[in-house]
Structure 1
């Protein structure tokens, strides 16, 4: 066993966390009779040697020994070893090779090429593993037939044989996925595989899930050939799967504490819970349907029809996964999503709190287009308060609590004051108050009730604890948006405390909040002035901006802004340029430097400086500013929101931008800063306005 294992200089190789000297021990542990020892070894292998799907030289060097373990009937849990082999091989192909099969050269080198070469040399062994007496081993090995076997005809023959021999749903899904992978990897066999898949999709003798899988994998092989009949056929098969897949309750997840523990910010705890929640798969067909949506791409109406069928399932897990896919579609692709928003809103009425919560989460993240769901959210919230009382925000049932909180947050993001009672209850009872704080700024019409409570919460934040930074920043952001200067004293106290405890992020947030209050924050000018010379990144420009907003003394601010324009930190240059643009013509002393910065090598600097140049000098600098803006937007479409804001100010002089504006609107994918739905919707709105005005 493991002949030659110790002839390899493992210690000279590195995995994700340093020396790979531990690899031999991990390989031996995978053969241990002790389940706990095997589990720890497998976790460590995935965590370090195959970290997040990476392939290092020691990962590739491990493959002969992993294959030996997989082939040895004495190895416990051989299926997990086979699954590890397939995972390493799939990652090696994805990371190490271009679509045309050319190996990508990395420095330092990865183990991708070595891994693929070895697995293809030994690809025939996956045929035997796919015929193993152990059904779990067979299931794990199926993917290897599509990935590693160079004899394409033999691979196709074995896959057809296995489909006839296997009866499990998971096996059929895996076999047909492997067939499509084989067709994509080996063009010579593609025609026979795609004909086989098309025939299976029409074969009434096959079960509906198998037929659906064949249809989807056929579409995956040739997305450009998806005909008008494919989606209706898929929808029909989805409806038939209701009888083939048993309805199961979504398994409960660990209940989170209502308050933070162990000094960890509650926002961080929640982020990890959300990550765990979104990596779970609740239905056996979810991966298959994701593949179908990927093949359909920008066909928004067709994908919405498929999602409608998914959400009509009586199985809560299928609905849950479909809701998440709906959110991904709306956040990624442009189009009329009204129908999909309403379909997601319909899921609020389900008896399953986790499904209802996920529907609310999607509506919240898609709030710029979620207005059609407003009444459904309000009705859902009122029904919960009527059934469970006014304190349902803090309900002991974790699922009910999350369902209510997420619906309230979604309604608040729509600016609807019917969310207010639950937000006030959260702030008064201090149960998950941070969740209420995050959306409180969306209700300026209720500032008189929210601001005193937020101010009191801010007063209680202990900035000697680093874990409270996120909470302080969120409260300050809400207060800035709500705009009631009554809280200036507590914001000023927070600024002093943040400086004292070197909480630089809170310092910057407090300065930005004081800027929003303008001259009403005059009492904080002393602290603000002291921070205009700060060396901490981004604190200094925030202090200069606050000095201008609160003090309004141009003679005091201009030297500071010119100094920031000369900084090497690009964020400082951009912040200074934005403030100069806000000041406008009185800031003309900055024009020479702004002109020079139009040749800066970073497009974001050029965008901010071009916009400032226009705001200060107007038509005299229109040509230079426009050229810089359009070149930057062409190079980096993420600048589009900033560019279009300036174009909107330029009026008829922005006419040369028309081709680029039309090109932006023709893109099916969302664009703008971070490609977020909020920025993209604003981008589309401004672009349409500009085109109508300039054309």
Structure 2
């Protein structure tokens, strides 16, 4: 595989979060594994990290790289340890990499943020199996700025119900953060962790916010992921439709996903559907059909 060393030589990556050639190398397949293992010994950071990332993307068929990647997790360089740990998880589902990643998420100095973000990305990918990281993630929420807390919140959401001890700080963020994007992320995390109304309630507050705030549309998009469990939001969505018809497309998508429990929204949806000038007629029709098929047939919706 002569192409592998050539591609690695072209790699100029300076951050472990941005390794654009890794996908191309992984696409070569298992035949690239021997050359990529050799690339782990490259003295330059970019080629070495790219080789590790490509091996991880190849997955279990790169099993021959496990011994060398395991040694790389003991490197004196944080970025080496993080990219090797992420690759080992993808290849072998080795939970032994968690301490390596957890020890790297507290590196908030400007020069260390690449390693920190790469470690958080890896923990998010590991998801529910990364429960061991929850205490450290919660600790990070009390230390970092709101800008940097966003990714920590996203990881807690990906861990899900096993991150239950994070509910209290997430509730504080969703209620009091001045960063709207962070509030939305915290609301989604609450729902993914509790599968209860906490996250829905936080998103309802966003719907009732400033009409000029585009995050209302983002809140609707988040609610649409919840399906019937977003039913408590129906009254707020109806109110939003009456006050701001420009949200009709996004609102109809949420109501369609909720289905029959959104029956209290039928009158306003039917009102919109009967408007001959309506642009979003297909979306509204789909929502009516999902909520009440019989009412849809009565309106000629098939």
What are the superposed Cα offsets for residues 494-541 of structure 1, whole Å, 9 maximum, x if unpaired? 22222xxxx213212222222222332222222222212211231211
Number of residue pairs aligned between Structure 1 and Structure 2: 261
Q: Post-superposition shift, 1:422? A: 4.7
Q: Post-superposition shift, 1:486? A: 1.6
The answer to whether residue 161 in structure 2 is matched with residue 519 in structure 1 is yes
What are the superposed Cα offsets for residues 613-654 of structure 1, whole Å, 9 maximum, x if unpaired? 2111269779989x74978xxxxxxxxxxxxxx99xx8xx9x
What are the superposed Cα offsets for residues 446-484 of structure 1, whole Å, 9 maximum, x if unpaired? 2413222111222xx243x34544433332221121022
Structure 1 Cα separation of the partners of residues 214 and 81 of structure 2: 29
What are the superposed Cα offsets for residues 124-166 of structure 1, whole Å, 9 maximum, x if unpaired? xxxxxxxxxxxxxxxxxxxxxxxxxxxxxxxxxxxxxxxxxxx
Which of 194, 210, 224 is 1:581 aligned to? 224
The answer to whether residue 29 in structure 2 is matched with residue 377 in structure 1 is no
Structure 2 Cα separation of the partners of residues 492 and 572 of structure 1: 25
Q: Post-superposition shift, 1:443? A: 0.9
Q: How does 1:342-381 map to 2 (within 5 A)?
A: 346-348=2-4, 354-355=9-10, 357=11, 364-366=22-24, 371=27, 373-381=28-36
What are the superposed Cα offsets for residues 542-563 of structure 1, whole Å, 9 maximum, x if unpaired? 2222222333442x44432211
Residues 567, 444 of structure 1: alpha-carbon distance in 2 compared, 3 angstrom cutoff: farther
1:428 alignment partner, SS class: coil
Q: 1 or 2 for the larger relative contact order (CA 8 Å, sep ≥6)? A: 2
TM-score by length of 1: 0.32
2:179 alignment partner, SS class: coil
Asked whether the 8 Å contact 1:441–1:478 carries over to 2, the reply is: no
Q: Report what 1:296 is aligned to.
A: none
Asked whether the 8 Å contact 1:451–1:482 carries over to 2, the reply is: no
Structure 2 Cα separation of the partners of residues 577 and 438 of structure 1: 36
Q: Which runs of 5+ in 1 are unaligned?
A: 1-344, 385-391, 632-645, 654-695
Residues 579, 403 of structure 1: alpha-carbon distance in 2 compared, 3 angstrom cutoff: closer
Q: Give the structure with higher Rg (CA).
A: 1
Q: How does 1:215-294 map to 2 (within 5 A)?
A: none
What are the superposed Cα offsets for residues 535-594 of structure 1, whole Å, 9 maximum, x if unpaired? 12312112222222333442x444322111123475632442244233322433433544
The answer to whether residue 136 in structure 2 is matched with residue 490 in structure 1 is yes
Structure 2 Cα separation of the partners of residues 600 and 424 of structure 1: 56
Asked whether the 8 Å contact 1:378–1:411 carries over to 2, the reply is: yes
2:257 alignment partner, SS class: helix
Q: Report what 1:539 is aligned to.
A: 182
Structure 2 Cα separation of the partners of residues 476 and 629 of structure 1: 42
Q: Post-superposition shift, 1:378? A: 0.6
Q: Report what 1:454 is aligned to.
A: 101
The answer to whether residue 90 in structure 2 is matched with residue 443 in structure 1 is yes
What are the superposed Cα offsets for residues 306-342 of structure 1, whole Å, 9 maximum, x if unpaired? xxxxxxxxxxxxxxxxxxxxxxxxxxxxxxxxxxxxx
Q: Report what 2:297 is aligned to.
A: none
Q: Which runs of 5+ in 2 are unaligned?
A: 13-18, 274-278, 294-302
Asked whether the 8 Å contact 2:89–2:97 carries over to 1, the reply is: no
The answer to whether residue 154 in structure 2 is matched with residue 508 in structure 1 is no
The answer to whether residue 189 in structure 2 is matched with residue 550 in structure 1 is no
The answer to whether residue 270 in structure 2 is matched with residue 615 in structure 1 is no
Q: Report what 2:15 is aligned to.
A: none
Structure 1 Cα separation of the partners of residues 249 and 87 of structure 2: 32
Structure 2 Cα separation of the partners of residues 404 and 471 of structure 1: 15
Q: Report what 1:264 is aligned to.
A: none
Residues 564, 440 of structure 1: alpha-carbon distance in 2 compared, 3 angstrom cutoff: farther
The answer to whether residue 60 in structure 2 is matched with residue 413 in structure 1 is no
TM-score by length of 2: 0.67
Structure 2 Cα separation of the partners of residues 607 and 346 of structure 1: 52
Asked whether the 8 Å contact 2:174–2:184 carries over to 1, the reply is: yes
Q: Post-superposition shift, 1:436? A: 0.9
Asked whether the 8 Å contact 1:412–1:443 carries over to 2, the reply is: yes
Q: Report what 2:116 is aligned to.
A: 472
Structure 1 Cα separation of the partners of residues 35 and 104 of structure 2: 28
Structure 1 Cα separation of the partners of residues 191 and 113 of structure 2: 26
